[in-house]
């Protein structure tokens, strides 16, 4: 059997029925773009350790990012382990693949001055549509969680937000559509206490808004999540703040929380990380502003 034939069977019968649509589309894209064109015509028995390693190296050499290469390797491993399990190959060699070296992606967050500028701009504009930016700064929500958030998920009396769903863009019939889904991981389903200073503003914003969704103007079917990202980019442009992705709001929340003395376990649960080590590894090096302040305090001892 050729590898392409097995990949098509594997995706159709062993992946599609059991994973999220987004995960299936990612696997299929990696298969169609990278695996099938290069080694899809090879017989399954020919997929030796050397062949697989040469293929992986070729991906890096043609400029594919480390994350993308690792994504392709994951598809190789899952598909070939399944092939071995069902006796389509006598032995699979994905355990011999050497992954490209990864470097921890630099966490980008806004400075305290930049954050204050963003907040003041939004409060002065008084547009309910922009409220989600502030909400992310003080809860660490991912953009998919924000865009799926309904007022019924927020208990304004108790000051709690319940995260039970997320959303993403999907290409359908020549246009991007917003698709509701479960959160990123099981640990992403969580309850977040709201800062009491934010509750009054949320009550005011709820009166001004319309519909079931917190970001009602951006949650109609057919309106992609990316439009809200562009709204955020527009705010940064008007304020002449250097561009950072929407996810930087989440990083900013985590950085400010650590600066305020929040313990890592609590922060990990609020962010929806699998365990505190994920949080510690990601944010231990992101607090230069705080480090500078601490060093200056120490420096006061110098006479």
Q: What is the pLDDT of residues 13-36, one digit of tens each?
A: 999 999 888 889 899 999 999 999
Q: Give me the pLDDT at residue 104, please.
A: 63
CA angle 228, 231, 234 (to 5 degrees): 155
Residues 238-272 have pLDDT tens digits of 999 999 999 999 999 999 999 888 999 999 999 99
pLDDT, average across residues 215-238:
77
Give the pLDDT score at 219: 42
pLDDT band at 220 (very low <50, low <70, confident <90, very high): very low
Given a cut of 60, is residue 206 above it in pLDDT?
yes
Is 122 a residue whose pLDDT tops 50?
A: yes
Segment 159-174, tens digit of pLDDT: 999 999 988 777 666 6
The 3-class secondary structure across the chain, one letter per residue, is CEHHHHHHHHHHHHHCCCCCHHHHHHHHHHHHHHHHHHHCCCEHHHCCHHHHHHHHHHHHHCCCCHHHHHHHHHHHHHHHHHHHHCCCCCCCCHHHCCCCCCCCCCCCCCCHHHHHHHHHHHHHHCCHHHHHHHHHHHHCCCHHHHHHCEHHHEECCCCEEEECCEEEEEEECCEEEEEEECCCCHHHCEEEECCHHHHHHHHHHHHHCCCCECCHHHCCCCCCCHHHHHHHHHHHHHHCCCCCCCCHHHHHHHHHHHHCCCCHHHHHHHHCCCCHHHHHHHHCCCCHHHHHHHHHHHHCCCC
pTM, full prediction: 0.74
Measured torsion, CA atoms of residues 73, 76, 79, 85, in degrees rounded to the nearest 10:
-100
pLDDT for position 63:
87
Average pLDDT over residues 87-104: 87
φ/ψ of 162, rounded to 5, equals: -105, 125
Task: Report the pLDDT averaged over residues 101-113.
Answer: 81
């Amino acid at each position: 059997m050729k590898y392409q034939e097995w990949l098509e069977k594997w995706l159709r019968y062993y992946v599609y029925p059991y994973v999220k649509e987004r995960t299936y589309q990612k696997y299929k894209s990696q298969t169609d773009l990278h695996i099938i064109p290069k080694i899809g015509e090879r017989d399954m028995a020919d997929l030796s350790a050397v062949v697989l390693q040469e293929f992986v190296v070729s991906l890096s050499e043609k400029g594919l990012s480390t994350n993308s290469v690792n994504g392709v390797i994951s598809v190789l491993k899952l598909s070939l382990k399944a092939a071995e399990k069902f006796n389509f190959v006598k032995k699979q060699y994905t355990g011999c693949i050497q992954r490209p070296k990864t470097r921890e992606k630099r966490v980008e967050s806004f400075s305290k001055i930049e954050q204050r500028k963003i907040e003041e701009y939004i409060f002065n504009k008084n547009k309910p549509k922009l409220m989600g930016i502030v909400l992310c700064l003080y809860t660490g929500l991912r953009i998919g969680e924000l865009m799926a958030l309904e007022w019924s998920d927020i208990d304004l009396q108790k000051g709690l937000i319940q995260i039970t769903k997320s959303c993403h863009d999907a290409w359908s019939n020549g246009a991007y559509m917003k698709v509701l889904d479960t959160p990123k991981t099981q640990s992403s389903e969580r309850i977040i206490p709201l800062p009491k200073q934010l509750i009054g503003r949320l009550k005011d914003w709820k009166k001004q808004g319309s519909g079931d969704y917190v970001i009602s103007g951006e949650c109609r079917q057919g309106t992609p999540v990316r439009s809200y990202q562009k709204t955020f980019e527009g705010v940064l442009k008007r304020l002449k703040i250097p561009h950072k992705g929407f996810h930087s709001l989440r990083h900013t929340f985590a950085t400010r929380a650590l600066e305020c003395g929040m313990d890592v376990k609590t922060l990990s649960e609020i962010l929806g990380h699998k365990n505190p080590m994920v949080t510690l590894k990601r944010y231990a090096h992101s607090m230069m502003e705080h480090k500078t302040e601490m060093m200056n305090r120490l420096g006061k001892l110098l006479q």
